[in-house]
Every structure is written in C-alpha cells, then in structure tokens.
C-alpha cells in the first residue's frame, strides 16, 4: 500500500473514529488536515509546521503535566524520523488531554506505509479517544507509574520486551531488543550493588523465571540495592507476574521495579529490635545468657589475640530481696548494670544469672580491668552495694570457656574473702543493720555448706563438651592442678590419676574420662559408679550423674568423689 492508498483507506474507513487526522511530511514539517477538531481549530490556524504545532499544543496546557515530557518527544523531528525511517510503521502513545469538561484519555498515533522513507516522508498523524478497555488499562498503568519507576512487558519465550515506563537514565539503548541483554547490561554497568549481583542475576535468569511460572502463577519478588541517580544505593524491589494472556507456549509477563528503601530499612530496624530484645535482659538491658553463650561459641571458633573476662557476683542480693522486697533488689541490679556501662562503655556486658554479670573485652588487659574495677567498687559503695569480682585473660591456646571458668573461680575466692572480712572489719559495716545481719547469715550458710561438703573429696559440675567445670567443693591440691592445666577438667583428671591413683586402677579411671563412653552408659543408667584405690591406700568412690533439668547445657554432668566408708 503506497501513501496515496493509505490516506484513501484512512479517509474511507477510519476517519469517523478519529478526533483529528493530518498528512504530515516528516522532513519539512508540512501538514494537511484530513480531519480537524473544531474545538481547537482557531487556536492553531497560524501554525504551519507540525513540530511547532506539537509544542504549542503542550504549551497551551492541553496535555496534563505528567505527560508533557514524553509527549514533546514527538515535536523533535530527529526523534520521529529515526523511528519511522528506521522501520516503525505504527507508533502509539497514550496521554491525558485537558478539555472543558475535565480530562480525557486519548491515543496519539503515527501511521506510515511500507514505502515511507526519507525520499517519501509522508505519514498520517491521528488523535482519537481511547476505548474503555484501553482507558482502564492506561488509568491502571498511570496509577502504577506513581509507585513504580520501571514497568516492562516481557516475553521470555522470544526474549523480547516493551517499555511501559522507565526513568530517563535507565532507558535501554535502542539497539537492545532482548530482555536478557538489558538485564545483564544493567547489572554490569554498576547499577546493582556488588553484594547483590549474584542475587540479582539468579532472580533474572530466564530459566529460573520459566521454571517458576510453569509450576505456579504466584508473583516472583526480589530485593536488591540499586544505584541512585543522586549517588549511593537504595533498596529496590523487582516483581514479576504473569500477564492475562500468559501461556506456557507464549510466556508473557509484567516486570515492575519500585523503590522500597525506606520501607526496607524500617523492616531491618524492626528485625534488629526483635533480635536485640531477644538477646537483652529485660531489666538491665545488658546482653542475656542466651547471647553470652552464642558469643562464647563464636569467640571459641575465632579467638582474638587478647580476651579478658571479668566475672561479677553481687553480694547480698537475695537478702535484700527478702528484707526490703524485689523492687529494692531490682534497683541494686540496675545500679550495678549502669555502673558497669559507665566504666566499660565499649565492652560487651552480660547479665547471665540472677546476680551474676560478665564483661568480655578484646582491648583491655587483666591489669586494665583490675584497675577499673577498683573504681567500680568505690562507686557502688556510695550506694551501699558491694560486689565480688574475678578477672582472667586468655593464655594463648586456651579456650574461652576455660578463661571464663578461671574468672569465675577468682570471683568465688573474692567472695569467700569478702564474707571473712565482713565479720572481721567493722568499718565496712552497712548502715542497714538488718541487711548486715542477713549478709552474715549468708556467710554462715556457706560455711555450713562447706562443713557438709567436707564429707566429700570433691564435688564438680563438669561440661563434657566444653571441658570446663564449676565446683561445689574443691580441695586445695586439685585447685592447684586445675590452675596448672588452664582449668581443663579432663587434663587435670589425668594429672590427678598419674600422681594419686594406684596403677591397678589407672587405666579404668582414664577410660572414664571419655565423654562418648560416659553418655553411652547414661542411656542405661542414671548414675555411673566407680571404686578405685589411691597410692596411699585410701579407697575412693566416684559417682557421675547427668543433669537432666538443664536445657541450656545438655552436656553438663556432676562428679562426686568421696572416701569409701
């Protein structure tokens, strides 16, 4: 069909459906009306160039502001000629036009024949009302355009795409015809944060997309950091969903991209708050026992060059609760926690039990901490509170659990000294005589416990997995062995056996130290009993029991040594 036939066809069949039609010479800008809208005729009679006509139409505010920029592209001769002479025979653009009755959606079209070229540059410009279905679609796309800065129709069967909307700096190069190429080049050009490249590539892989939509019709979503025009990166979300005419043979999809940075960062903050709350002690806001165990495990896997542990127990908390109520006890706990925050602002602080606190530092030495704890004690004394404290730094090759165990042991020795001095040194008496009385009673209770414990040669709570121990009663000679072995219970037991156990029983005793054998025996018996003889002839009895009510530490056992009577 040549140009003459095209115009004849339009005039005879389509002219009634158009508001305005004109023959246009794309090179000279000359135009001739086939049909003119009488409502705007008088305003444009003096305009003789079609490109000037388009500019005036926009400047007279016939086009809604949000469409002006795109509309004015058709007032650029080079832009239009490049498209038409490049082979496009039908160009369609929808926009919202202002009328006396408000706005109406219209379709602007450029129609060319197969013979249109620079030598025969005549085409038809047409303007018509958008049909109901097109209007609904255009309204929907317009609404979505407010939310999304990129909207594409893609077909992963033939690897093609159509741009519905794309911000100016993300418009594809006109040489690109494959969606896979555009998505690849977009990422390779630095538009996607380097940490999100793999996620982005996996999500936009067409095989992945095809496989998903063959199995289900649910939306695919991915979040990644996208380079912002003003610099830096912002979180974006890409959604892909099937179009109405999707089929396995012709996989037409819609791709949307929107900015979700503020929303995403708010979600991250909320998640962090939840995690933080889970890891925090509700009263003091220090880290709790759960976080303490997690951090110890992490440190044990990747031990820093320096690690110092401060272990603290508050003296008299239980008595204060009993005498003055739990609110006073809570005040004491908060005062200790706040004081530790002041003196150790950069270190990790934990409340791991009712009255027990721990500080871990990879910057302070044992001497540094001991100097600071002197000031901590003074500050707490002003509030009539006292603590027991122990400090230990990691020896190269020693596990963090042994370091914590050594600090706890030092704290308990400090507590023993505290209660001894409490009865000897009257100058340290609290103004609260009732509280002082109860503190003394606690000392008596601990002393009484020791009198009972002396029936045994040793009572230990042993973590078989971590090779650490807590003790109820420990003889002085075994305490020395532990210190020599950096508080490794297994190693200390071997030294004990070598020095103190009769050779006849040595191998059987060493076999007991195998944690795997111990837990095998626990499957049949709740208590493991073993008798042996020491080199001095004393017959000893050892009982090993599993602690069944310790969900946080399922590998903890009790070892009770006693003389056989």
pLDDT tens for each residue of 215-255: 777 888 999 999 888 888 999 999 998 887 788 888 889 88
Instruction: Report the predicted TM-score, pTM, of the whole model to 2 decimal places.
Output: 0.42
Per-residue pLDDT at 324 exceeds 80: no
Q: Of 3.20.20.210, 3.30.450.20, 3.40.47.10, 3.20.20.150, which CATH number belongs to 141-266?
A: 3.30.450.20
Say if residue 436's pLDDT is above 50: no
pLDDT of the residue at 426: 41
**Stretch 256-280: mean pLDDT, rounded?**
80
Q: Which residues contact 196 (CB under 8 A, 6 or more apart)?
A: 224, 225
**Three-class secondary structure assignment of 415-458:** HHHHHHHHHHCHHHCCCCHHHHHHHHHHHHHHHHHHHHHCCEEE
Burial profile 334-344: b = 16 or more Cβ within 10 angstroms, e = fewer: ebbbebbeeeb
Helix (H) or strand (E) holding 186: helix 179-186
Is the model's pLDDT at 30 over the cut of 50? yes
- Taking each helix axis from N to C terminus, what angle separates 433-453 and 317-324, rounded to the nearest 10 degrees? 130
Q: What pLDDT score does 427 carry?
A: 38
Q: Which residue has the higher pLDDT, 522 or 346?
A: 346
- pLDDT tens digits for range 514-545: 888 888 888 776 788 889 999 988 899 988 88
Whether residue 94 is predicted with pLDDT greater than 70 in this model: the reply is yes
Region of poorest pLDDT, from 1-5, 162-166, 438-442, 542-546 = 438-442
Cβ–Cβ under 8 Å, residues 310 and 406: no
Q: Which is more confidently placed, 30 or 419? A: 30
Is the pLDDT at 425 greater than 60? The verdict is: no
Domain ranges within the chain, ordered by starting residue: 3-130, 141-266, 281-430, 456-563
Q: How many residues does the chain have?
A: 565
Average pLDDT, the chain: 82
DSSP letter for each residue of 389-415: EEEEEPPTT--HHHHHHHHHHHHHHHH
Maximum alpha-carbon separation in the chain: 126
Say if 3-130 and 456-563 have the same CATH topology. yes
CA atoms of 78 and 26, how far apart (whole Å) = 9
Q: Is the CB of residue 400 less than 8 Å from the CB of residue 297?
A: no
Looking at residue 15, what is its pLDDT?
66
Mean pLDDT of 193-204: 92
| CATH number, span 281-430 | 3.30.70.270
* Predicted confidence band of residue 438 (pLDDT cuts 50, 70, 90): very low
Q: 456-563 belongs to which CATH class?
A: alpha beta
Question: Which CATH number does 3-130 carry?
Answer: 3.30.450
Note the pLDDT of residue 448.
Answer: 45
CA distance 353 to 197: 45
């Amino acid at each position: 069909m040549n140009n003459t036939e095209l115009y004849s066809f339009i005039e005879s069949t389509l002219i009634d459906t158009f508001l305005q039609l004109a023959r246009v010479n794309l090179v000279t800008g000359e135009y001739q009306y086939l049909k003119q809208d009488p409502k705007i005729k008088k305003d444009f009679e003096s305009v003789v160039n079609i490109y000037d006509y388009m500019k005036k139409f926009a400047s007279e505010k016939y086009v809604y502001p949000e469409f002006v920029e795109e509309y004015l592209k058709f007032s650029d001769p080079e832009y239009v000629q490049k498209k038409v002479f490049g082979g496009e025979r039908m160009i369609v653009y929808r926009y919202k036009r202002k009328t006396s009755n408000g706005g109406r959606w219209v379709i602007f079209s450029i129609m060319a024949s197969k013979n249109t070229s620079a030598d025969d540059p005549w085409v038809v410009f047409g303007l018509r009302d958008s049909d109901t279905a097109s209007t609904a679609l255009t309204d929907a796309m317009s609404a979505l355009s407010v939310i999304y800065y990129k909207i594409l129709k893609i077909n992963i069967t033939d690897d093609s795409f159509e741009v519905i909307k794309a911000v100016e700096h993300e418009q594809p190069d006109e040489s690109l015809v494959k969606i896979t190429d555009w998505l690849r080049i977009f990422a390779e050009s630095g538009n996607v944060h380097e940490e999100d490249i793999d996620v982005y590539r996996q999500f936009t892989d067409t095989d992945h997309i095809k496989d998903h939509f063959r199995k289900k019709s649910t939306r695919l979503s991915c979040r990644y950091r996208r380079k912002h025009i003003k610099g830096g990166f912002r979180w974006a979300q890409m959604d892909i969903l099937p179009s109405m005419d999707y089929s396995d043979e012709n996989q037409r999809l819609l791709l949307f991209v929107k900015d979700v940075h503020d929303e995403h960062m708010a979600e991250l903050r909320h998640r962090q708050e939840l995690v933080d709350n889970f890891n925090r002690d509700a009263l003091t806001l220090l880290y709790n026992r759960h976080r303490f165990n997690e951090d110890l495990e992490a440190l044990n896997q990747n031990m820093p060059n320096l690690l110092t542990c401060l272990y603290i127990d508050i003296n008299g908390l239980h008595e204060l609760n009993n005498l003055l109520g739990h609110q006073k006890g809570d005040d004491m706990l908060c005062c200790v926690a706040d004081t530790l925050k002041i003196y150790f602002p950069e270190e990790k602080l934990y409340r791991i039990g009712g009255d027990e606190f721990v500080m871990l530092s990879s910057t302070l030495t044992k001497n540094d901490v001991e100097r600071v704890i002197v000031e901590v004690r003074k500050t707490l004394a002003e509030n009539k509170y006292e603590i027991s404290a122990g400090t230990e730094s990691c020896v190269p090759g020693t596990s963090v659990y042994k370091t914590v165990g050594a600090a706890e042991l030092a704290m308990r020795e400090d507590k023993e000294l505290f209660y001894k001095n409490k009865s000897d040194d009257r100058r340290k008496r609290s103004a609260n005589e009732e509280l002082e009385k109860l503190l003394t009673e606690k000392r008596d209770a601990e002393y009484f416990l020791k009198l009972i414990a002396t029936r045994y040669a040793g009572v230990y709570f042993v973590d078989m997995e971590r090779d650490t121990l807590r003790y109820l009663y420990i003889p002085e000679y075994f305490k020395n062995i532990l210190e020599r072995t950096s508080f490794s219970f297994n190693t200390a037991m071997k030294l004990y056996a070598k020095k103190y156990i009769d050779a006849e029983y040595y191998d059987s005793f060493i076999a007991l130290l195998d944690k795997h054998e111990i837990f095998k025996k626990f499957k049949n018996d709740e208590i493991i009993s073993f008798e042996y003889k020491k080199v001095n002839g004393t017959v000893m009895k050892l009982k090993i029991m599993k602690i069944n009510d310790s969900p946080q530490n399922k590998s903890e056992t009790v070892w009770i040594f006693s003389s056989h009577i």
